[in-house]
A and B are shown apart, each in its own frame.
Chain A
């Protein structure tokens, strides 16, 4: 029974979100901490080094970690204030049970475990093993990602495990595997420094990866030209040498036309193409009709600007192409990624100093979390769950029969659809807040209401956890040892600064206890996170994501090690493909033809305006953490509808007027923010907020056919001005909206 036990207002009263502000004089003990712990930020894929100040088993402040090479002390406002998630009044400190009409009541660990195990067994006995599913996230460490993958297959014995990286990096991963046979950014960011041209495609770097901005500016100081592809003038685009103001959903047309330009003007690296790639001819055949005029018509970017971009890209001696969710959150996300890779391969600028290509991984462990068997079709080492040899190897590592290994399950959004159909009846989740982060979330909520049993492990009671039957109080980032792999592919150490408060336990301890009670304790005999990592090393050995040669000691000594690192004496691989031996079966890089397709939903008379969504600098993803930190909330207190003055004038919309935005999925009201920094045919809403303030009430569940990523970045909407000014945000708070 996964309906809310009482009104949401009552749950919020008890469990928040409440806003945490540091005391005016700072937390006691900040000046004389018991220890200073070198670790990393809990938020994005940059994984900036940071020192946490600890007093009496509480994190009481931070200090910049100047020596960590990626950020050298630099942080964004989320990083500066990350310490306020610790010591938070909303922290879950005891197991909770749903009680109809009352809310959530404390329960013993014994009872919470018994109830959960009982329900897992009942559901699996009644409906089959696959009727109980697991959803996880990638803010967790490599050790926990590996553990979740093993727990689902060995303890739950279900094929239905997927993760929130499905909303994040999967299009990039699929594209990279097709082109290179391996899923990792090809270069680390030091290769930005002397790149002559940097092209940033659909990546709001300064708001979502602020500390990467410095690396791009270092290149610009050295004379690099910066091209930014984005429908909005994002902070990085403001000073860019070229801003390609693309219409959402048309990215592959741009890259197709640029490729055609390179071909027509012979700005190609023929040696590289001939010796190290396949598929070039089919790929250029696919774009032979993509003239600049055609691309201008499709993308809305002036053809002169497209030509300039292609010319700069074609003539550069060194370059770096970066992309992120802006091109990946599409029903053709993989196509867009391949379109970018085709430009990189055509000019042969990869595998050499200052010749780079990378997706910018979004979540804290978005890179590592997508390598260790955390995905529905994957086993550790980025192995394929359908490949008999891969299954056999991992079954041996796990001590099970290959025949016991479940097959591929549903991807995250398909899993929600399966709950809707009644095919999946029970769920356990960790570190995932799908009621805010998945598209068409009214539909998602209906699915959760159909579950017969739902248990969740989390440190705050997020919007999705309100639907749970059992809530296990798990651990914050700073409460457990482990490793993460940054967007650069650098494996770094996360250090435990404090132990979980009250009765809370580490996520690992909870999963191990559940495994034991499911009768497979003998397969999960770890005493420390390092024990899990050492098994992960073996499990990944020989896979494309090979961690075998990485040890905790080596990570600590070198401030991170880049995978692949196949042996103990191997130094790691900061830059891939220097030997031009790609990880594909034929050892070559693969061009992939990309024919242009429209997005899943296009504008029409009924829904005439393009809606796109994204983030703001002071919030992180579904806001479970950042909507609880006072100053971060105040910095951008509510989602605003960004709209161009010409489009606003068409509807007679005034600044801060409430506008109802309607799509085929739902409707929601937002104050208008009339700005010239967005295309005239497009509106933008950031998505971090819940309930009636959630942009994901509007977004479509259209999936990329390969990566199964939802199309968050483009849909069609109507704008209905409500002829009233929005109340000030403090009068109608969005951070705890229902």
Chain B
């Protein structure tokens, strides 16, 4: 696996304000040859009865990935660039520990293969200097892949946040969520 072109300064940013629920990201993600027409990114209505707001959930690539920590088969690994890789097909035993443990609800069990699948931030593309497919096609750029400095210049009204508080658990992630200026953390009680 070549890492020659991996741009470590590039980060992933998600801005829910901009999400229009179009599912271009899902469609494009599913096209990846390793995904077998399954999308690793998920767009859902928050509560359609009251709002058109959608959320988009991509793997957050945690600094200390719970999915990897709870994996009894040591099938999930984080690499030197902070990318948390999907389960190693040889090792995964389909136990679903990761599915239950992930605070963001990202991994899912693919029953036909009896193994977990999740986003690896398009390693084939990002390691070759390209943007992940979802962030490439996203028509509103709710999904953006670039540098923190680019983001600061382009979108001065919001800031990237990558610290999340789930009850007593604090989680730091490689992926950022854009929040209103001044925010430093997203608390999920």
Residues on A lying within 8 angstroms of B by beta carbon are 21-26, 30-31, 61-62, 64, 66, 71, 73-77, 79-81, 206-207, 210-211, 213-214, 217-218, 221, 223, 233-236, 238-239, 617-618, 631, 635, 645, 655, 673-677
Flag if A236 contacts B137 (CB, 8 Å).
no
A672 CB to nearest chain B CB (Å): 11
Flag if B48 contacts A221 (CB, 8 Å).
no
Other-chain contact of A214, B33, B50, B141 (Cβ < 8 Å): B141
Given contacts A238-B51, A675-B49, contact A213 B156 (CB under 8 A): no
Flag if A74 contacts B37 (CB, 8 Å).
no
Flag if A22 contacts B37 (CB, 8 Å).
yes
Given contacts A675-B49, A676-B49, contact A206 B22 (CB under 8 A): yes
Other-chain contact of B24, A21, A79, A235, A675 (Cβ < 8 Å): A79
Within the assembled complex, what's the spacing in Å between the Cα atoms of A587 and B78?
67
Given contacts A77-B27, A210-B24, A214-B139, contact A238 B53 (CB under 8 A): yes
Instruction: Pull 25 A–B residue pairs with CB atoms less than 8 Å apart, ordered by A.
Output: A25-B36, A30-B33, A31-B33, A62-B31, A64-B137, A66-B136, A71-B139, A76-B22, A77-B22, A77-B26, A79-B137, A80-B137, A206-B22, A206-B139, A207-B20, A207-B22, A210-B20, A213-B18, A235-B22, A236-B20, A618-B22, A674-B49, A676-B49, A676-B51, A677-B51
Q: Mark B34-51, 1 if CB is under 8 A from A, else 0.
A: 001100000000001111
Flag if B139 contacts A233 (CB, 8 Å).
no
Given contacts A618-B23, A631-B27, contact A73 B137 (CB under 8 A): yes
Q: Write out the residue numbers on chain A whose beta carbons fall within 8 Å of the beta carbon of B27.
A: 77, 80-81, 631
Flag if A74 contacts B21 (CB, 8 Å).
no
Known: A75-B137, A80-B27, A673-B48; 6 extra A-B contacts, CB below 8 A, are A74-B141, A235-B52, A238-B53, A239-B18, A675-B50, A677-B50
Q: Write out the residue numbers on chain B whose beta carbons fall within 8 Å of the beta carbon of A673.
A: 48
Given contacts A74-B138, A675-B49, contact A617 B31 (CB under 8 A): no
Other-chain contact of B20, A23, A31, A235, A675 (Cβ < 8 Å): A235
Q: Write out the residue numbers on chain B whose beta carbons fall within 8 Å of the beta carbon of A239.
A: 17-18
B155 in contact (CB, < 8 A)? yes
Q: Write out the residue numbers on chain A whose beta carbons fall within 8 Å of the beta carbon of B157.
A: 221, 223
Flag if B23 contacts A206 (CB, 8 Å).
no
Q: Write out the residue numbers on chain B whose beta carbons fall within 8 Å of the beta carbon of A62.
A: 31
Given contacts A80-B24, A207-B20, A210-B20, contact A75 B139 (CB under 8 A): yes
Q: Write out the residue numbers on chain B whose beta carbons fall within 8 Å of the beta carbon of A211.
A: 139
Within the assembled complex, what's the spacing in Å between the Cα atoms of A81 and B139?
14
Q: Write out the residue numbers on chain A whose beta carbons fall within 8 Å of the beta carbon of B156.
A: 221
B89 in contact (CB, < 8 A)? no
Closest A residue by C-beta to B33: A26
B90 in contact (CB, < 8 A)? no
Q: Write out the residue numbers on chain B whose beta carbons fall within 8 Å of the beta carbon of A210.
A: 20, 22, 24, 139-140
Q: Write out the residue numbers on chain B whose beta carbons fall within 8 Å of the beta carbon of A24.
A: 36-37
B89 CB to nearest chain A CB (Å): 15
Q: Write out the residue numbers on chain B whose beta carbons fall within 8 Å of the beta carbon of A26.
A: 31, 33, 37
B107 CB to nearest chain A CB (Å): 20
Closest B residue by C-beta to A81: B27
Other-chain contact of A76, B18, B24, B33, B48 (Cβ < 8 Å): B24
Q: Write out the residue numbers on chain B whose beta carbons fall within 8 Å of the beta carbon of A675.
A: 48-50, 52
B54 CB to nearest chain A CB (Å): 8
Flag if A217 contacts B18 (CB, 8 Å).
yes
A73 CB to nearest chain B CB (Å): 5
Q: Mark B1-42, 1 if CB is under 8 A from A, else 0.
A: 000000000000000011011111011101101001100000
B171 CB to nearest chain A CB (Å): 27
B169 in contact (CB, < 8 A)? no
Q: Write out the residue numbers on chain B whose beta carbons fall within 8 Å of the beta carbon of A631.
A: 27, 30
Flag if B136 contacts A77 (CB, 8 Å).
no
Flag if A677 contacts B52 (CB, 8 Å).
yes
Q: Write out the residue numbers on chain B whose beta carbons fall within 8 Å of the beta carbon of A22.
A: 31, 37
Closest B residue by C-beta to A238: B52
B19 CB to nearest chain A CB (Å): 8
Within 8 A of A (CB), among B118-166: 131, 133, 136-141, 154-157
Within the assembled complex, what's the spacing in Å between the Cα atoms of A24 and B31?
9
Q: Write out the residue numbers on chain A whose beta carbons fall within 8 Å of the beta carbon of B24.
A: 74-77, 79-80, 210
A303 CB to nearest chain B CB (Å): 26
Within the assembled complex, what's the spacing in Å between the Cα atoms of A705 and B140?
37
Closest A residue by C-beta to B18: A217
Within the assembled complex, what's the spacing in Å between the Cα atoms of A234 and B155?
23
Within the assembled complex, what's the spacing in Å between the Cα atoms of A374 and B53?
41
Main secondary structure of the interface of B (DSSP, over half): loop
Residues on B lying within 8 angstroms of A by beta carbon are 17-18, 20-24, 26-28, 30-31, 33, 36-37, 48-54, 131, 133, 136-141, 154-157
Within the assembled complex, what's the spacing in Å between the Cα atoms of A21 and B138?
21
Q: Write out the residue numbers on chain A whose beta carbons fall within 8 Å of the beta carbon of B131.
A: 73
Q: Write out the residue numbers on chain B whose beta carbons fall within 8 Å of the beta carbon of A64.
A: 133, 136-137
Within the assembled complex, what's the spacing in Å between the Cα atoms of A216 and B18?
10
Q: Write out the residue numbers on chain A whose beta carbons fall within 8 Å of the beta carbon of B53.
A: 238
A51 CB to nearest chain B CB (Å): 12
Flag if A61 contacts B31 (CB, 8 Å).
yes
Q: Write out the residue numbers on chain B whose beta carbons fall within 8 Å of the beta carbon of A676.
A: 49-51
Flag if A76 contacts B139 (CB, 8 Å).
yes
Within the assembled complex, what's the spacing in Å between the Cα atoms of A94 and B140?
41
Closest B residue by C-beta to A237: B52
Within the assembled complex, what's the spacing in Å between the Cα atoms of A403 and B16?
62
B136 CB to nearest chain A CB (Å): 5
Q: Write out the residue numbers on chain A whose beta carbons fall within 8 Å of the beta carbon of B52.
A: 233-235, 238, 675, 677
A83 CB to nearest chain B CB (Å): 9
Other-chain contact of A73, B37, B136, B154 (Cβ < 8 Å): B136
Within the assembled complex, what's the spacing in Å between the Cα atoms of A31 and B33?
9
Flag if A80 contacts B48 (CB, 8 Å).
no
Top-7 shortest CB links A-B: A206-B20, A210-B139, A235-B20, A213-B140, A80-B27, A211-B139, A77-B27
Within the assembled complex, what's the spacing in Å between the Cα atoms of A30 and B20?
29
Closest A residue by C-beta to B112: A24
Within the assembled complex, what's the spacing in Å between the Cα atoms of A64 and B28?
10
Within the assembled complex, what's the spacing in Å between the Cα atoms of A673 and B47?
12
**Most chain B CB neighbours (cut-off 10 Å) among A64, A218, A673:** A64
Other-chain contact of A74, B17, B36, B137 (Cβ < 8 Å): B137
Flag if A617 contacts B140 (CB, 8 Å).
no
Within the assembled complex, what's the spacing in Å between the Cα atoms of A223 and B157?
8
Closest A residue by C-beta to B137: A75
B176 CB to nearest chain A CB (Å): 16
Q: Write out the residue numbers on chain A whose beta carbons fall within 8 Å of the beta carbon of B28.
A: 75, 80
Q: Write out the residue numbers on chain B whose beta carbons fall within 8 Å of the beta carbon of A77.
A: 22-24, 26-27
Given contacts A74-B139, A235-B52, contact A617 B18 (CB under 8 A): no
Within the assembled complex, what's the spacing in Å between the Cα atoms of A138 and B78?
51
Given contacts A74-B141, A75-B28, A76-B22, contact A221 B155 (CB under 8 A): yes
Flag if B141 contacts A25 (CB, 8 Å).
no
Q: Write out the residue numbers on chain A whose beta carbons fall within 8 Å of the beta carbon of B54.
A: 235
A207 CB to nearest chain B CB (Å): 7
**Most chain A CB neighbours (cut-off 10 Å) among B31, B37, B54, B139:** B139
B157 CB to nearest chain A CB (Å): 7
Closest A residue by C-beta to B19: A235
Q: Write out the residue numbers on chain A whose beta carbons fall within 8 Å of the beta carbon of B50.
A: 675-677
Q: Write out the residue numbers on chain A whose beta carbons fall within 8 Å of the beta carbon of B30.
A: 631
Within the assembled complex, what's the spacing in Å between the Cα atoms of A666 and B134?
43
Flag if B140 contacts A80 (CB, 8 Å).
no
Flag if B21 contacts A617 (CB, 8 Å).
yes
A231 CB to nearest chain B CB (Å): 13
Other-chain contact of B139, A23, A213, A218, A645 (Cβ < 8 Å): A213
Q: Write out the residue numbers on chain A whose beta carbons fall within 8 Å of the beta carbon of B17.
A: 239
Q: Write out the residue numbers on chain A whose beta carbons fall within 8 Å of the beta carbon of B49.
A: 645, 655, 674-676
Other-chain contact of A80, B18, B21, B31, B141 (Cβ < 8 Å): B31
Q: Write out the residue numbers on chain B whose beta carbons fall within 8 Å of the beta carbon of A73.
A: 131, 136-137
Within the assembled complex, what's the spacing in Å between the Cα atoms of A674 and B50?
9
**Most chain A CB neighbours (cut-off 10 Å) among B30, B52, B54:** B52
A10 CB to nearest chain B CB (Å): 31
